[in-house]
Amino acid sequence: MIKHFLSLNSLSTDQIHGLIQRAQFFSRHQKQPDKIHHLLQHKLFANVFYEPSTRTRCSFEVAAKRLGAEIINFVPENSSVKKGETVYDTLKSLESLGVDGIILRHSDDNIFESLSGLNTCPMINAGAGKHEHPSQGLLDLLTLTQEFPKLAGLKIAICGDIKHSRVAGSLMIAAEKFGMEIHLCGPESLIPNINNTFIKCSELDNVLPEVDAVMMLRIQLERHEGLELDQKTYFEQFGLSNHRVSLMKEKSIILHPGPFNRGIEIADEVVEHPRSRIFKQMTNGVFARMAILEWVLSKGNEND
């Protein structure tokens, strides 16, 4: 059976725990290539990114190479997409050329539903539309696991453009699966209507002393027409400043999926603050994606 990695919602908690444990293994043995470099030797992946990306695309590329696999980077601007080729025909062409798995990012919310059952090699969701970014969700869970004894009971504030954030979408799915409490903060126009016992709408300054982690998000101007607040006012009302960091409880951490806009949603000096785990998230992204690449090509069914 073909195994796809499309959503945290389609995975059991045991499967997610298994992926986290495997990512931890890769983290422990990152300096021992003899233990990992052979695992996906002679395998070939295609990075198919219809949207710009630095961290996710490069992270998947590094992950594949660490496992001994090869990877090709498909660039729509230099392809037959410019001649009108559909996503399906592009992916089918890559399958026909012999790739073993496809890593896809696209702006369409329903791209994977439209491709369901049409492709014959594993598909990995590298960020689709504005709903989910499951590999980011996995690396965020990995980072939280490294910082806290257990996921259950953790309180996390997410602040920023939540309505258009697939990162927030995946974290909210994880919250329900693992019993975490999510506080949504930011401009009212950018907070979605959600009816869920694990998710609350809160004022950032009110919850900072209570939460274990603060996930800051940038304003995704490319997904909507803009924001009425100017940058200075936005930072004053919702930005993570040194003062707001001082309100956080002891041992709480700062997260951000990137790219970050210094001085808008997060102060320049807070990006590398001792509480910040932003660059650790990026490091963990390689290990989480190594686990994903290995999993989709492993034998067995989707429940393994």
- Token match 């101007």: residue? 221
pLDDT, residue 164, reads: 86
Check whether residue 291 and residue 208 sit in a common domain: no
Check whether residue 222 and residue 174 sit in a common domain: yes
Check whether residue 38 and residue 108 sit in a common domain: yes
Mean pLDDT (the chain, rounded): 92
Mean pLDDT of 151-175: 94
Tokens coding 27: 């983290």
- Give the pairing of strands 101-106 and 44-49: parallel
pTM, two decimals, is 0.94
Check whether residue 95 and residue 163 sit in a common domain: no
CB 83 within 8 A of CB 104: no
Check whether residue 165 and residue 33 sit in a common domain: no
Buried b or exposed e, range 45-55, using 16+ CB within 10 angstroms: bbbbbbeebeb
Q: What are phi and psi of 183, to 5 degrees?
A: -110, 120
Q: What are phi and psi of 159, to 5 degrees?
A: -125, 130
**Minimum mean pLDDT among 138-142, 178-182, 194-198, 274-278: which range?**
194-198
Count how many domains the chain has.
2
Check whether residue 186 and residue 96 sit in a common domain: no
Interhelix angle 278-297/134-147, rounded to 10 degrees, is 120
* Burial tier of 209 (Cβ tally within 10 Å: 0-12, 13-18, 19+): exposed
Check whether residue 192 and residue 114 sit in a common domain: no
Residue 303 lies in a domain: no
Tokens coding 252: 């709480």
Mean pLDDT of 228-254: 93
pLDDT, residue 52, reads: 84
Mean pLDDT of 83-112: 91
Residues with a catalytic annotation lie at 55-56, 83, 105, 133
Q: Which CATH number belongs to the domain containing residue 289 in this structure?
A: 3.40.50.1370
* pLDDT per residue as tens digits for the range 33-72: 999 999 999 999 999 999 888 999 999 999 999 999 999 9
Check whether residue 68 and residue 169 sit in a common domain: no
Check whether residue 139 and residue 227 sit in a common domain: yes
Range(s) of the domain holding residue 144 = 134-278
- Could you count the other beta carbons within 10 Å of the beta carbon of residue 14? 10
